[in-house]
Amino acid sequence: MPPVAQTLSAETPDFRQTIKALSRAHTGRSLYHMLECWLVIATAIYSSTIIAPPLSGVAGIVVYFIAFVVIASRQHALMVLTHDGIHKRLARSLWMNDWLARLTMAFPVFTSLAKWRLIHLYHHQYTHTAADPDRAIYARYPLNSRKFQRLLLRDLCGLNVITTLKYFMDVPLIAREFNRRFLGEDRVAQYHKLSDMRAFWLFWVVVIGGGLWWGGTPFAVGFLAYWLLPYCTVTQVFFRIRGAIEHGNVPDPGNPYQQTRTYFLHPALAFFLAPKRVNYHLEHHLYPSVPFYNLLQLHRAFQQATYQQVQAYCEPFTMSLRKLVKEE
């Protein structure tokens, strides 16, 4: 496949200037979005533990359910922000980009920035080829509707979370074999030189140890109810649907304009399924240098410059979702 830049009819001096401007990373904006995620999480936990505790009756149970789903949505958003950290778009300083991503985004959602970066950059380089390590995420689609529903039900029951963890981090005892099978020997050797798992485990020793020291049993119960359970269940559903839609059952895997899709959905739905403008995935693949907060402007620039001529793959979310399922 030729480099994307060679395929773009929009490659005029003015368009290149637009890309250059949109590609600037702004640390302040990244910090704002990170803090927004954690503020929403804190508000959800406060509402469910102080204002209407689960044991206070029906209202408490309803508030807990709402908080549960909202927390899962922000865990999903932290994963999307980590994705920008992979592309070094959170801050102009690489050191700040990586440690901001690790400590406030990646590690809290059980993700090794180094491992996901290695996997994801290979995904960009080899999209829709046998060398793409992400093929397992999208190549199965379209699926029989019952199989798709069963997959989502398994996610909701927490039965697929171990597979997710093996993808994003090194799970003790089983990581080595998984990495070798998933990445291949050469990539595993490359990853071991970059691994940040020592920092990952130190982070969780401090969090869990400090939490138990200061909070005791209430911390343990709260951590399970308000962090682990949402991550193991609803967050997995959000991640599954987004991962499938981005590349599943696309029109032309060899065409950079049709090997992934941009999909449009209501902001309320995007809060859960496509946070931080991750639904502009076609634009991201064409120009990974553009931070998430500028993807809408990039989409509009492409609309004016070239999308009509190249039949770029953009469609409503509901249409994309239907294409993941086979007609029975």
Q: Are 21 and 290 in contact (CB under 8 A)?
A: no
- Rounded Cα–Cα distance for residues 31 and 49 (Å): 27
pLDDT at 171 (0 to 100): 85
pLDDT digits (tens, 9 = 90+) for 141-187: 999 999 999 999 999 999 999 999 999 999 887 877 778 777 777 78
pLDDT digits (tens, 9 = 90+) for 72-131: 999 999 999 999 999 999 999 999 999 999 999 999 999 999 999 999 999 999 999 998
More confident call, 2 vs 100 = 100
The runs of H, that is alpha helices, within 87-196 are: 94-101, 113-125, 135-138, 145-156, 161-168, 175-183, 185-194
In this structure, of 17-21, 286-290, 305-309, the range with the lowest mean pLDDT score is 305-309
- Rounded Cα–Cα distance for residues 283 and 290 (Å): 9
Q: Are 206 and 198 in contact (CB under 8 A)?
A: no
- Rounded Cα–Cα distance for residues 273 and 234 (Å): 11
pLDDT at 159 (0 to 100): 96
pTM of structure: 0.93
Residues 6+ apart with CB under 8 A from 22: 287, 290, 291, 294, 297, 298, 301
Q: Is residue 63's pLDDT more than 70?
A: yes
Which pLDDT band holds residue 10 (cuts at 50, 70, 90)?
Answer: low
Q: What is the DSSP letter of 280?
A: B
* Mean of pLDDT values over 255-275: 95
Other Cβ atoms closer than 10 A to 12: 12
Q: Are 164 and 239 in contact (CB under 8 A)?
A: yes
Q: Is residue 189's pLDDT more than 90?
A: no
Q: Is residue 5's pLDDT more than 70?
A: no
Q: Is residue 220's pLDDT more than 50?
A: yes
| Cα–chain center distance at 297 | 21
* Mean of pLDDT values over 7-22: 76
Range of the domain at 299: 4-326
pLDDT digits (tens, 9 = 90+) for 270-285: 999 999 999 999 999 9
The count of domains in the chain is 1
Q: Is residue 4's pLDDT more than 50?
A: no
pLDDT digits (tens, 9 = 90+) for 290-325: 999 999 999 999 888 777 677 888 999 999 999 999
> If you average pLDDT over every residue of the chain, what do you get?
92
pLDDT at 13 (0 to 100): 77
